[in-house]
Structure formats: structure tokens, C-alpha cells
Structure 1
Amino acid sequence: MKPIESIVVFEHEKLYFTDEHKKLKLDQALENYYGDGTPFFSLIKNGVKFNQHVGVIKIGQTTIEILPKADHNGKDEWRQLLYDMIRTVWGFEVKISSSASLKLKKNSILDLYYELYIKELEYLLHRGLIKRYNKKEGNLHALKGSLQFSKHIAQNLVHHERFYVKYSHYDANHEVHRILYKALKLIEQTNSKPDLSSRIGTLLLNFPEMNDLKVTDSTFEKINFDRKNQHYEKALQIAKLLLLNYHPDVSRGKNNVLALLFDMNRLWEQFVYIVLKKNIKYTDVKVKAQQSKEFWRSESSASKMKPDIVLEANGNTIVLDTKWKNLNGSYLPSPEDLRQMYAYHLYFKATKTALVYPGEESKLIKGDYSAIENDMTTDKLTCGIAFISAHKDIHQWKQNIVSFVKDHFISSANSEEIF
């Protein structure tokens, strides 16, 4: 049966399985993937309910896109914004041609990662793959390296023309290339776009065939980047995303699941921080992320608090905590969030704090904490409710964020061009 090309939903929406979904066994694949629990969605009667995670779930040849939603923008606009947010946070750039050439309207985020990965490998092959010395051992007809005496006696008692040796070989068949090759083979297996198939085939023809490699988190942690291999970093970042989020269907082999999903709360926090860090350029303003302070300790353990963003401006401390939530017009944060900001005031000696939400229009609602009786130090504690308007153009959205923080929180800093 012909697969459904794409299913598109927004975060927190429900997807009910149709007869067509069931014929493709999408329901079984998602239920099997859910297993004992997953943070990406929950099971409901005859369907699934997605949460704050956005991105792509690919089951066989069928793609389910989960897009963020913070305003009236539609699916095409939020697909582009999600891609641009991820690119801002991860720092992906396309080396050969501008990412503006990527067609987003009919492509999922996963297709765009495939495109970026293919471009990165094309660049690496054009530049030339780096070689390294690899330790090998085997039975050779010439003596090279060091003779492994015990194995040599065991295997060559009647073959005096051979030598069992351990030696170093200088070639491209090393761990970094094995990772890249494994990710390329995964893309070949899961790609459903004809325009990418020929380029994948060309890469496989030109890329040296590599030994298979079992890939885990520790595989990537062991890679050290230096001047010689620094240009491999972005390709390896994408390979890590793909390989560590691939879950093969070992029972049938037809409904393999590739889940490339991002926690929207975390993505929003990182996006705001990186935009501020890169674009607020005052010499007397510092932008810091997740500054940790201990606030409780027992004999055996301790607990710390970490605000999302701390601004140090002209001797003042401003704490911003990002929240990817829709307050549904009430402008009333949860009591837990307000208590958390109160603690930030005390422990970080903050002059201002604010909860930062995406919104349809930019505005700051000022709020004051009630003073504790007979304690005048608590009379000036505040917590603003900040809404920063999203925009379908990522550059305008970034400018909205920087301008808002500049105007409302660090207005005493020297005026200069941000962009």
C-alpha cells in the first residue's frame, strides 16, 4: 500500500488513527515505540496525544511532523521557524550553497537535515577525507610491524611464507568516517525524496566502504576535535542526531522508527539565550546561561537552582526564565513559577526578574511581590510577565527579542546597533 506522504500536527494536538493509518500499521509502530513510556507523546484511545516535543517521527516511509504553535501563523511558517530556531541553536551552516535554496514548503524538518548532511559530506569529499594510522593485525606474506609470536606459531606452523603481525596502516577507514558512513546508509534506507536519491547514490559510490560500528553516546564523547578535523564537526552533529534517535523494528523490519524531536521548552530557552549572547554587545552587559547556586543541603545530598538566563548590567542582576506556554489570555503564571522567581530574587540578589513567553504581541506586564511584614527588603521584589511576539521572519523575531530585552531590562546600557 502506498504510504501516506506526511502527517502534520501541532504540539499538544491529538492524532486519531484512521483505517489508512491502521493498514500501514502506524498505530502498532507508535505503540511499540512507546513501550513502557516515552516523553514524546502519550497513548489515548485509538490515537496518541503529543506534548511539548516538536520535530519529526518517521515510521517506515511515512513522516509525522509535530510543529510548535505560539500564534496565528500556519504550518508552513512554523515549519520554517522551527528549522531556523534549531539552526540558530545548533549553529548549522551550509558550506556549499545558501540554506535559502532549501524548499521548506513540501519538506519536513527531517528532509532538511538529510539535505544538510548530504551537503556536508559532499563538502568533505571535495576537500578530501582525512587519513589516520589504524592498528591492524593479520596473516601477511611480508613481515611488517611487530610479529605476534604465539599467534604466528599457531597459524603458520606449515605456512613458513606467512607472518602474523600487528602493524599500523595509514588510511581513511577510521572511527569518524565509520560514523559518517553509517549515517549515510541510514539516510539511504529512510529517504523518500527522489531528488536526494541520486546524490546519496553518488556519495556512496565515492565514499570508501567502511567497517560497521556500534554507535552509542560514548562513541561521540570520545571524538576530539582539532585543527585537522574541525571541519567534520557539523556533519558529526547531524550524524549523532540521526543515529542515536533511530529505533529499528527488529521483529518486522518494515516499521523502523526515526524520532528526531526537541523539547520546545528547552529549545525556546536556548534560542533566547543564544540570540541575546550573540547580539547584545555592550561592554558592561554580560549574558550568562544557567548560573547554578546551592540553596539546600543535607548530610548526604544537595540541591541547586539554575535560572535560564542571567543578565549582569551596570552592577545590576536581571534573571529571566523562559517558558514555552500559552497563558490563554489570563496573564497569570503558575504559583510554582512565581515562587521560583521569588527564590531567584533572594539567592541571586536580582534587581529584576521576569518570566518570558512567546506571544502574538510584545508587552511587559509588571508584577510586584507582596512585602513580608516588618521586612522592608522584600518591598521592592518584582516579577514581570514578558511576552515577545513571534514573527514568520526569523531575523525579525531575533530583533524583537533583543529589542525587547534591551528596552525593558538593560535600557541604561549604551545605545548601539544590534544587527
Structure 2
Amino acid sequence: MNSPRQKISVFEHQTITYGKSYFGVKFKESHFNALAKLNELHDNKYFTLVHKGVKFSSYVGVIQIGDLILEVLPKIDRSEESPVLWKDVLIEMLRTTRKLKVNNIGNAFVAKQHIHLLDIYFEWFLNEVQALIHQGLIKKYYKQTSNVKALKGKLEFANHIQKNLVHKERFYTTHQIYGTNHLEHQILGLALKIIAQFSNGTYLYSKCKTVQLDFPEVDLVKPHPGLFSKLVYNRKNKAYKTALEIARIIILNFAPSVSSGNEKMLALLFDMNDLWEEYVLIKLKSLKIEGLKVIGQSSKRFWHNVSIRPDIIIQKNDEVFVIDTKWKHIQSNKPSTHDLRQMFVYNRYWGSYRALLLYPSNRTEKPSFMPFEEEQQECAVGKINIIENDSLKSNLGFDIINWLTK
């Protein structure tokens, strides 16, 4: 019988050590060893190993090690340490940036205890696969190598001699079959198998088994990135795109080789720096203001093969503004010399009048733009409150535009 899942919630940049209990759940040495191996596989970017523990970085999300759920949540500073609030903030950011599809976040999961990001992704995937089954799964031509009773396709001579020395009536061939055992379904089948392992003992397990019963039998494939490079979308399989994208997230974050004993691991982690930049960009792009154009990921050649790229470029009529987002708590309004030099260069190369270093905060502080010495271009630090009425502030784009254009 499977033991119930236990959960530990931590915040980014927090340190936990094995042998101690958090929220009544013990963090074991086996959990530490599994995290250390996972971190090594990903070039030590997720956290830093310390004496008997790990210190988390700006990566947030969820890690499941056996029956332990480890939630890593974002947080601006120590003024508010509510795991429920910051989990809602993270989910809303993922939903806004289209990394997660959740409707009615406040109500849809209220009745489900111990819900976490993996459960949400699992349920999203299962719903997508159910929809595909209901509308009818596609069939495709694919190659199959096996023993058959009639000669068709290409005879694999060496294997034919080896396998059919006694059975003269059989032929070992590679031939085409029209059916459901093709790459798209093999990928979805692998994701279903992973979900069944990690949802055992939860409300999603029975739903997963029901979907598996309705799903056709397919060949088992090994999880590796090359699986997805072979996918080509067309009119026939375009309905599969969402399900396959979720399957990619699940499969490529599944680490069967990272284990302690028999504990397998699934990690779903996001860099808050990238998520914050994307969230601000989307909120600015959603503004319906005449003459406003918002551009992300714009780069220019700086020197030789070196390019520079500010996070966000804003064009308002004939004026240009530059924004660089920073997901961290800044104690004062004085940015680093490196950041100021960077903003100076951005102003020069994009012909910008104002550059803004944008930080999240628990209270809004309107920026005071000051010119660079002997220059007309200005720069400032802006702190914007991202929490409003115990949820993620949705209209911060208006504040940012008003800062820059007034």
C-alpha cells in the first residue's frame, strides 16, 4: 500500500537541512542525495549545496521525490511568508505567461487538499488526452519490424535466418502499418505512465487509469529530448499540440536515473527572473493605448559577435523607453554600477529617453528619474507592489507606462 504524500513548502533563497522537520515533515538524507544528483544533471543551477542541506536559488516550482512534495515558492522579502498566497501568485504568473492553463483558480481547486503544481499540470494533461480520445484518435502510417506470416515490405535477412530457422512459414520484415501506434501516441503514452507513478494515492490516480484504459496500446519509448525533435505538426495532428507540449514538460523533467533507493523524481522548476520579465511584458502588451508599441527580446550587435538585449523596449509615438526587470529585493534606490552602465548603453543604442530598472516590492515607490552626467537621457529605479487584495496585481502595466510617459 502506498504511503500518503507529504509536503514541505519553502521559499526561494531559503536553506533546508536534512534531519530537520518542516511543517511537521522530515527532510531526509535520501531526499538531499536525490536533489544533489538532480542539480548535478542541470549544471548546479537549481540550488547550492551546503553542509547537510540545500540553499534554493531563483528557481521556483515543485519537486516530487518518492512520496515527498517539495514546493519552492517565490517571495519578495520576509514581510509576507504565506505559502498559500505565494503559490497563488506563482500559479497566476504561469497562467498569464501561458505556461499553465487554469480557469477559475480561486474555486477550481478549493475542495482538493494538498494541491500543487504537478497535480495541476497532470490534470491539464489528462483533460487534453480525454478530449483527443472523445474526438477520435488519429491513425498514421508507421514502420514496424516483426515476424509475419506473409512476405510484405522489406525482408530483414539476417534476423529472418536467426529467428525463423525452424518456422519456415514466417517472415521477419520491416513493413508499413496504418494504425495508432505512432510517435504522437507513444509520447502521450509515456507521459500517462509517468503520471500514474507520481499520482498514486491521490485523487488523480483513478482518472489517469481510466484514461490509460481508453488509450490504445503503444510501444514504450525512452524519455529523451530527441523524441520531440521528430514531431512535425500539420492539419491532421494540430489538435495534439497542447497535449504534446505538456507531455514534453512532464517527460523532460522526469529523472528516473536520479534516485535514492527506489524513489523516482519529477521536477518542474521555473526561473523567476524570466517569469517576472515575461509577466511584465505581457501586461504591457495588453494595454490598449494609442501609439503604444511594446517589444520584447530585441537585440543589437554591440561588439564583434557580442549582442546586447534589454528586456523590454517601449515606443510611445516618437519616444522610446527601456525597461530591465529584476526579480530581487533592493534595499535602497541605488542600483549597482553594472546595472547603471548597462542602462546607459541601452539608452544610447536604442535612442531611448528614459531607462527604468523595475523591481517587485510590497509597496509601490514611484521612480525619480535622474539624468546621466552630461547626458539628456535619464534612468531610475522603480519598485512596484505586485500584491493587491491578497492576489497578484493585474493592472501594473498602467503604473509603469504612467511612470515613463509623465
TM over 0.5: yes
Gaps of 5+ in 1: 373-377, 412-419
Cα distance, 1:57–1:148 mapped onto 2, change above 3 Å: closer
Distance 2:405 2:263 in 1: 52
Of 12, 27, 35, 1:30 maps to 35
Structure with more of its chain in strand, by fraction: 2
30-39 or 233-242, which moves further after superposition?
A: 30-39
SS at 2:398's partner residue?
helix
Of 324, 332, 352, 2:334 maps to 332
Distance 1:22 1:81 in 2: 25
SS at 1:320's partner residue?
strand
Aligned pairs for 1:96-175 (under 5 A) are 100-103=107-110, 106-145=114-153, 161-175=169-183
Distance 1:249 1:145 in 2: 38
1:205 aligns with 2:201: no
Cα distance, 1:13–1:156 mapped onto 2, change above 3 Å: closer
Cα distance, 1:149–1:191 mapped onto 2, change above 3 Å: closer
Cα distance, 1:68–1:80 mapped onto 2, change above 3 Å: same
1:386 counterpart residue number: 382
Distance 2:369 2:235 in 1: 51
2:150 partner amino acid: A
Gaps of 5+ in 2: none
| Contact residue 81 and residue 392 of structure 1 kept, 8 A | no
- Identity, in percent, stands at 36
Distance 2:8 2:157 in 1: 62
| Contact residue 34 and residue 260 of structure 2 kept, 8 A | no
Cα distance, 1:17–1:181 mapped onto 2, change above 3 Å: same
| Contact residue 77 and residue 392 of structure 1 kept, 8 A | no
Cα distance, 1:141–1:304 mapped onto 2, change above 3 Å: same
| Contact residue 92 and residue 392 of structure 2 kept, 8 A | no
1:292 aligns with 2:294: no
Distance 2:350 2:168 in 1: 76
Distance 2:200 2:334 in 1: 45
251-260 or 19-28, which moves further after superposition?
A: 19-28
Cα distance, 1:339–1:119 mapped onto 2, change above 3 Å: same
**Residue 195 of structure 1, CA deviation:** 1.1
1:10 aligns with 2:15: no
**Deviations 1:43-75, CA, capped at 9 Å, x for gaps:** 122221111110111111101111001263621
Of 367, 370, 389, 1:368 maps to 370
Distance 1:50 1:359 in 2: 20
**Residue 192 of structure 1, CA deviation:** 4.6
SS at 2:387's partner residue?
coil
Across the aligned residues of Structure 1 and Structure 2, the Cα RMSD in angstroms comes to 2.8
**Deviations 1:157-213, CA, capped at 9 Å, x for gaps:** 775644444432111111111111111111111125521111011111111122122
Cα distance, 1:395–1:10 mapped onto 2, change above 3 Å: closer
Distance 1:390 1:159 in 2: 72
Of 310, 314, 326, 1:307 maps to 310
